[in-house]
A and B are shown apart, each in its own frame.
Chain A
Amino acid sequence: SSELTQDPAVSVALGQTVRITCQGDSLRSYYASWYQQKPGQAPVLVIYDKNNRPSGIPDRISGSSSGNTASLTVTGAQAEDEADYYCNSRDSSGNHVVFGGGTKLTVL
């Protein structure tokens, strides 16, 4: 399969920890990357190569992976973390890219 599956919506209380998951067969072979997208803005890379953050991304955002599932964890969620989060990876052929359907994170 070349699909990545994400829960459509997740909520977290301010200051608490939340995990967003991404499942797909291609994740057994390739790392997932994660993107944060706020309304009206372009996506921003927040995690690559399983658990690496680009400069400027806060360390409360982390990634992990096991088997066919990649996870993004926000530890001590802040109001500014409210956004849509997308995972992606190469597909099973290795030549194409596939995105998950996205998870809307609400910080209560």
Chain B
Amino acid sequence: EVQLLESGGGLVQPGGSLRLSCAASGYTFSSYVMSWVRQAPGKGLEWVSGISGSGDSTYYTDSVKGRFTISRDNSRKTLYLQMNSLRAEDTAVYYCAKDRRCSTTSCSDFDYWGQGTLVTVSS
């Protein structure tokens, strides 16, 4: 059974940093692109970042480029999102999501999602 379990969310002040983790199990982790998708309170889904199965290629939405870093440790089957220079508009539930079939660039069909972890940026 595929499982994705996020952790690391919490309350952080503007300008602060946070690292999210997503522990995967039940499939060959290194074979699939992984993504972070966020959802601000009462708002829609927003793709944040993606990483190839090997970890060699990374992709970011413009609003987080230069502030967020996605990475993965395939030996630990864990996905990360390092978030720096956090802003109020980064407040959201952050989900990790597994690509259904692609290993290099996301094919945008996310077949498994974690339960989400809440990040609140506020003073």
List the interface of chain A (C-beta within 8 A of B). Answer: 30, 33, 35, 37, 42-45, 48-49, 54, 84, 86, 88-90, 94-102
A99 lies within 8 A of B109 (CB) = no
Q: How many A-B residue pairs have CB under 8 A?
A: 61
**Given the complex of chains A and B, what is the CA–CA distance between A102 and B95 in angstroms?**
17
Interface class of chain A by DSSP: strand
Residues of B close to A99: CB separation below 8 A:
37, 44-47
Known interface pairs A95-B105, A96-B61; A86-B100 also in contact (CB < 8 Å) = no
Asked whether B108 is an interface residue with its Cβ less than 8 Å from the other chain, the reply is yes
Q: B residues touching A (Cβ–Cβ < 8 Å)?
A: 35, 37, 44-47, 50, 59, 61, 95, 100, 105-111, 113-116
Chain B: minimal CB distance from A37 (Å): 8
Nearest-neighbour CB distance to chain A for B26, whole angstroms, equals: 15
- Indicate if the CB atoms of A95 and B59 lie closer than 8 Å: yes
B59:A35 contact, CB within 8 angstroms: no
**A45: which of B44, B59, B110, B116 is its contact (CB, 8 Å)?**
B110
Q: In the complex, which of the residues A48, A86, A89, A100 has the most CB atoms of chain B within 10 Å of its own CB atom?
A: A48
Check if B113 sits within 8 Å of A42, measured CB to CB. Answer: yes
Task: Give every chain A residue within 8 A of B114 (Cβ-Cβ).
Answer: 42
Contact check, A42 vs B116: say whether CB atoms are below 8 A apart. yes
CB atoms of A48 and B105 under 8 A apart? no
Q: Is the CB of B105 within 8 A of A45?
A: no
Q: Which 3 A-B pairs have the closest CB atoms?
A: A48-B109, A97-B47, A42-B113
Look across to chain A and name the residue whose beta carbon is closest to the beta carbon of B113. A42
In the assembly, what is the distance between CA of A101 and CA of B61, in Å?
16
